[in-house]
Chains A and B, each alone.
Chain A
Amino acid sequence: MHEFLFINGLSGLLIITALMVILSKKAINSAIYYAAQSFVIVVLFIFLGAQTGSGELYLWSFTAFITKVLLVPFIMYTMFRRLDDGELGSGQVMPAAFSAIGAALIVILCYAVVSGVTLPSAENLKPALAISLAHFFLGLFCIVAQRNILKQVFGYCLMENGSHLTLAILAPNAPELVEIGIATDAVFAVAIMAVLGTRIFGKFNSLDAGKLTTLKG
């Protein structure tokens, strides 16, 4: 019973770190918070592994540590450090408080959805499952409620983290190959988006998604 409490509590921490990623003013700070969040996910995988007795999850946590805690934040930190759009500010569309309340609403909605589904494999982990689903939508929320294109990349990463956790909860015995697929996908997607962001900044001298209305070669 104690393990479930811990896993559910840690997944609560995920929502808080996700909010920090969304609300932080600078993209490089978001990268640091993202690394912290990925570390929480790694710890969650280890606890899930201990609870389900699945050896695969330990391997997952190892690869996730390499890619998500070290590699992806490193790429983002080094690429985004040089890009700064003073005019845009934080790029938030709505006040920070609304984002927090919006996150609360998303969590409630996802819990309502998950509680209607019977899942014998994840009966005690329903809160964590709801959080992983909510996390996906929180990432979507980050993309929608942000005009800063670099922060939108973080939205993608949050969505990806959410789906990763869902997979770990529902299919703890999935082979390592699946995990490697997800992890490499994340690394390459982020690298491509970082290059795109740099190119856009080079052409437009702005990170505002609202200004990307003209085609420039």
Chain B
Amino acid sequence: MPTLSHFLLAVVQALALFAVAPLISGLSRFERAKMHTRRGPSIFQDYRDIYKLLRRQDLAPGEAGRIFQFMPVVMLATLMVIATGLPMLTRFTPISAVGDLITVVYLFALIRFFFSLSGLDSGSSFAGIGASRELTMGVLVEPIMMLALFVAALLAGSTNLGEIGIAISSGTVHSAAATLLAAGAFAFALYIELGKLPYDMAEAEQELQEGPLTEYSGPSLALVKWGLALKQTLVVGWFIGVFLPFGSATEMSFFGLIGGLIAFVIKLFVIFGVIAVIENSVARARFRLTPQHSWLGVGAASLAFVFYLVGL
């Protein structure tokens, strides 16, 4: 049963992530510009973009329905719910009911569902095709994610993300090879989920892949952009919470939380640095190539499951 301080922690970490998400996406834009030896925008550019869009008029196509209007709010709200449940500063989940692996996977699926539905609802055929691509991507990624997390859950004996993280960090999982392989497969699935090259480009709303964004404008587009930035941060935080909980606070204490915060920020920076290197050193893969790659991820995850069964 979560106490008041757990609730406070959950709300604070969700709001803090919400506040810094554009900074992190701005940072990856900045890194990309540096790797292209361009000057590039400042790291605060995404805040400016969002501020500018928020003051514009909100236009919707005549054919668009309610779903189209609700989607940005639903997306952001769901992301905030996920943010309250993930173990980030601490090893345990602040609100354990939300920090369950099945809940989190399906909350992400809910976002995807509304995202594609809004594309269909906008009445634009271009957005409709983009929506179908988005769903195809979900079908390819979710099996890897689920299988890898189930292996970790079986090893830890619990589906709670915090419990899995605690088991991994304390070394009570009796299967090193399975854990490592599951972590690798999960990282791969999350990389696709991040929406980065070579599979996707989350900020390219002119392209087919992010087609559902085509008809958005003004404040709605601002919210969706904010949501996408928050989603990228959360996805990385999810990986940190489950497979890299080292350095996080083990109990609720002021200094523990400060230490956890510092460790979390360092891990976030390192991971986004690695992502930037990968993202900027690959060309875009053809969409039809993605299933071949994702099946390899499924293969790795099933090998991890076998390693668990064998007891390696």
Which A residues are closer than 8 A to B by beta carbons? 5-6, 8-13, 15-16, 19, 95-101, 103-104, 107-108, 111, 127-128, 130-131
The residues of A that contact B298 with a CB separation of less than 8 Å are: 97, 101
Given A11-B177, A13-B177, 13 more A-B residue pairs with CB atoms under 8 Å apart are: A9-B175, A12-B177, A15-B177, A96-B292, A100-B296, A101-B299, A101-B303, A107-B303, A108-B309, A111-B310, A127-B310, A127-B312, A130-B310
**CB < 8 Å neighbour of B295 from A5, A6, A97, A103:** A97
The residues of B that contact A98 with a CB separation of less than 8 Å are: 299
Across the A-B interface, the 3 shortest Cβ-Cβ residue pairs? A12-B177, A100-B299, A97-B295
Asked if A11 contacts B302 (CB within 8 A), the reply is no
Contacts A5-B174, A16-B181 given; indicate if A107 touches B310 (C-beta within 8 A): yes
Within 8 A of A (CB), among B273-306: 292, 295-296, 298-300, 302-303, 305-306
CB distance from B151 to the nearest CB of A (A): 12
CA distance A56 to B307 in the complex (A): 29
Q: How many A-B residue pairs have CB under 8 A?
A: 74
The residues of B that contact A127 with a CB separation of less than 8 Å are: 310-312
CA distance A9 to B179 in the complex (A): 10
Asked if A104 contacts B303 (CB within 8 A), the reply is yes
Q: Which residue of A lies closest to B303 (CB)?
A: A104
Asked if A96 contacts B312 (CB within 8 A), the reply is no
CA distance A97 to B176 in the complex (A): 22
- What is the interface size of chain B, counting residues whose CB is below 8 A from a CB of the partner? 21
CB distance from A214 to the nearest CB of B (A): 34
**CB < 8 Å neighbour of A97 from B178, B296, B305:** B296
A-contact bits for B157-192, CB 8 A (1 contact / 0 none): 000000000000000001111100100000000000
The residues of B that contact A96 with a CB separation of less than 8 Å are: 292, 295-296, 299
Asked if B299 contacts A104 (CB within 8 A), the reply is yes
CA distance A9 to B307 in the complex (A): 9
Asked if B306 contacts A9 (CB within 8 A), the reply is no
The residues of B that contact A103 with a CB separation of less than 8 Å are: 299, 303
The residues of B that contact A5 with a CB separation of less than 8 Å are: 174, 176
- A-B contacts, 9 of them at CB < 8 A, read A8-B176, A15-B307, A16-B177, A95-B295, A96-B299, A97-B295, A103-B303, A108-B306, A127-B312
The residues of A that contact B176 with a CB separation of less than 8 Å are: 5-6, 8-9, 12
CA distance A100 to B303 in the complex (A): 7
The residues of B that contact A101 with a CB separation of less than 8 Å are: 298-299, 302-303
Asked if B177 contacts A97 (CB within 8 A), the reply is no
Q: Which residue of B lies closest to A106 (CB)?
A: B306
Interface centre among A6, A98, A104, A130 (most CB of B within 10 A): A104
Asked if B302 contacts A100 (CB within 8 A), the reply is yes
CB distance from A48 to the nearest CB of B (A): 15
Asked if B177 contacts A9 (CB within 8 A), the reply is yes
CA distance A131 to B305 in the complex (A): 14
Interface centre among B177, B181, B292 (most CB of A within 10 A): B177
CB distance from B212 to the nearest CB of A (A): 29
